[in-house]
Amino acid sequence: MSQKAERPVLSGQRIKTRKRDEREKYDPTGFRDAVIAGLEKTGGDLDQIAKFLVNAGNKLDYRRYGEVLFDILIAGGLLVPGGSISQDGEKPRTNYCIFEAPEDMEAMRNHEQVFVNLMRRFKYLEKMFEEEMKKVLVFIKGFTPSERIKLARMTALLLCNGSVPPNVLLVLNNEHLIKDGIALDFLVELFVTFKQEKGMQSLIQALKKGGLESKLMDFFPPNKRTEENFKQVFLEKDLTEIIKLHKAQASQEAKRELQQTLIDDINDEKPHSEITADIKEFAQKANIPEHEIIVIIWSTVMSLGEWNKKEELVTEQAVRHLKGYCPLMQAFTSTDRAELALIQKVQDFCYENMNFMKAFQKIILLFYKTEVLSEEIILRWYKDSHSSKGKMHFLEQMKKFVEWLQSAEEESESDDEQKNGE
């Protein structure tokens, strides 16, 4: 067999590596040492620290070691899994960091400016800082109680100024942080600080923006997840708005579940008596009042209809569709408030769905004939309880029917007077 001839190689040949192909070894410890050396020269003066960090950004590779930089500014050294500080090197830690600062808010605000100035100068650090905060928050079990307090207060300030988004707090929904109450204590301290800095309304908005408003109970240890405990924890810290937010969220969730229960019952073709019983049982457990139940029933029933796009056909279609649900609706209009809530909801629906503008009077007439709505409530709605949506259009539409009701009422009163006279 013939063998391939070897290609000749020049003696002493050197292959030159292009600069763009060279990869510098990842050296977080060396970066840490350079940063700590610079911090030590400032003597802890925060203005000097801020200047050093800005100038060092022209020499040190912040793009590569951004999270290492934030480890140092927060904890004083390189954080390792669990929240402890790496002890490699001669000086693995500096005292010029958040964890070694006083707990008072003046000190926290002064340190806050170091972060703000740094990210204002190097915009690319903003995303790194968000990831850094997620990592640090997962480590809080490894920090001392004092370090947690400082971190909670600093995190509140950073949320207030927009340096980090509120959804970073979701990482605290972690079993090993929740079971010992660490996550809850951290959040309570953060909430108190946030309220002091920007007010309660801003805190509520931040919780909603971060998707935490419906998860607040999840941060309580499993054996303490009761409404009483929830109320007690936030009352003690004068955070009553958090309690109101929680109740509102619980109510919204209950209403969604009630609506789904109703849809399931209708799809299963259950008799109205069974649907009524299911709704009443659920509403009693969830403490949903009748005037809210009837609105849910209306919205659900109307969502199940497939409506014709032609306005002249929709009215007849709506009346035919609703007729089958009148017994169900009648069961939940036993109070004046529930009746009024229904008629106002019908008005809003017809206004918001333009094809139904002419259907309003026919729907109210159907509800009157099937005793879902009473004469008294219809007259009250007409006089002073109507919604502002399409007000003149619907009042004009109802004018003849209301006049008929009024004349019938006058005849009834006249008959009563005659009987009393006899």
Write out the residue range of the structural domain in which residue 218 sits.
28-238
212 and 300 inside one domain = no
Give exposure, 186-222, as e/b (b: 16+ Cβ within 10 Å). Answer: bbbbbbbbbbebbebeebbebbeebebbbebeebbee
Say if CB 295 and CB 266 are below 8 A apart: no
Say if CB 375 and CB 336 are below 8 A apart: no
216 and 302 inside one domain = no
202 and 88 inside one domain = yes
Q: Residues near 310 by Cβ (< 8 Å), separated by ≥ 6?
A: 355
Say if CB 232 and CB 243 are below 8 A apart: no
Residue with tokens 């915009």: 123
354 and 206 inside one domain = no
Q: What is the pTM of this model?
A: 0.74
User: How many domains does the chain fold into?
Assistant: 2
186 and 304 inside one domain = no
CA end-to-end distance (rounded Å), the chain: 136
pLDDT in tens, the chain (422 residues): 455 555 555 455 554 545 544 456 889 999 999 999 999 999 999 999 999 999 999 899 999 999 999 999 999 999 999 899 999 888 899 999 999 999 999 999 999 999 999 999 999 999 999 999 999 999 999 999 999 999 999 999 999 999 999 999 999 999 999 999 999 999 999 999 999 999 999 999 999 999 999 999 999 999 999 999 999 999 999 999 999 999 988 889 999 999 999 999 999 999 989 999 999 999 998 889 999 999 999 999 999 988 887 777 899 999 999 999 999 999 999 999 999 999 999 999 999 998 999 999 999 999 999 999 999 999 999 998 888 888 899 999 999 999 998 887 666 555 554 555 45
Question: What is the pLDDT at residue 301?
Answer: 95
Q: Residues near 279 by Cβ (< 8 Å), separated by ≥ 6?
A: 258, 261, 262, 293, 297, 332
72 and 209 inside one domain = yes
Alpha carbon distances (Å) from 221 to 115, 180, 191, 239, 343 = 33, 7, 18, 19, 45
Say if CB 295 and CB 334 are below 8 A apart: no
34 assigned to some structural domain? yes
317 and 219 inside one domain = no
Q: If we measure between CA atoms, which residue out of 341, 249, 256, 228 comes closest to residue 295?
A: 341
85 assigned to some structural domain? yes
Question: What is the pLDDT at residue 21?
Answer: 44
343 and 230 inside one domain = no
Supply the CATH number for residue 350's domain.
1.25.40.180
Residue with tokens 């500096």: 94
Alpha-carbon distance of 117 to 54, in angstroms, equals 8
215 and 349 inside one domain = no
CA 271 from centre of chain: 37
Question: What is the pLDDT at residue 113?
Answer: 95
- Reduce the secondary structure of the chain to three states and give it as a string: CCCCCCCCCCCCCCCCCCHHHCCCCCCHHHHHHHHHHHHHCCCCCHHHHHHHHHHHCCCCCHHHHHHHHHHHHHHCCCEECCCEECCCCCCCCCCCCHHHCCCCHHHHHHHHHHHHHHHHHCCCHHHHHHHHHHHHHHCHHHCCHHHHHHHHHHHHHHHHCCCCCHHHHHHHCCHHHHCCCHHHHHHHHHHHHHHHHHCHHHHHHHHHHCCCCCCHHHHCCHHHCCHHHHHHHHHHCCCHHHHHHHHHHHHHHHHHHHHHHHHHHHHCCCCHHHHHHHHHHHHHHHCCCHHHHHHHHHHHHHHCCCCCCCHHHHHHHHHHHHHCCHHHHHCCCCCHHHHHHHHHHHHHHHHHCHHHCCCHHHHHHHHHHCCCCCHHHHHHHHHHHCCCCCHHHHHHHHHHHHHHHHHHHHHHHHHHHHHHHC
257 assigned to some structural domain? no
Say if CB 352 and CB 389 are below 8 A apart: yes
The size of the chain, in residues, is 422
Question: What is the pLDDT at residue 5?
Answer: 57
How does strand 84-85 pair with strand 79-80? antiparallel
Alpha-carbon distance of 41 to 398, in angstroms, equals 83
57 and 138 inside one domain = yes
35 and 99 inside one domain = yes
Q: Which of 238, 270, 302 is the last residue of a domain?
A: 238
19 assigned to some structural domain? no
191 and 323 inside one domain = no
222 assigned to some structural domain? yes
264 assigned to some structural domain? no
38 assigned to some structural domain? yes
Supply the CATH number for residue 47's domain.
1.25.40
249 assigned to some structural domain? no
Say if CB 315 and CB 345 are below 8 A apart: no
Q: Which of 175, 205, 238 is the last residue of a domain?
A: 238
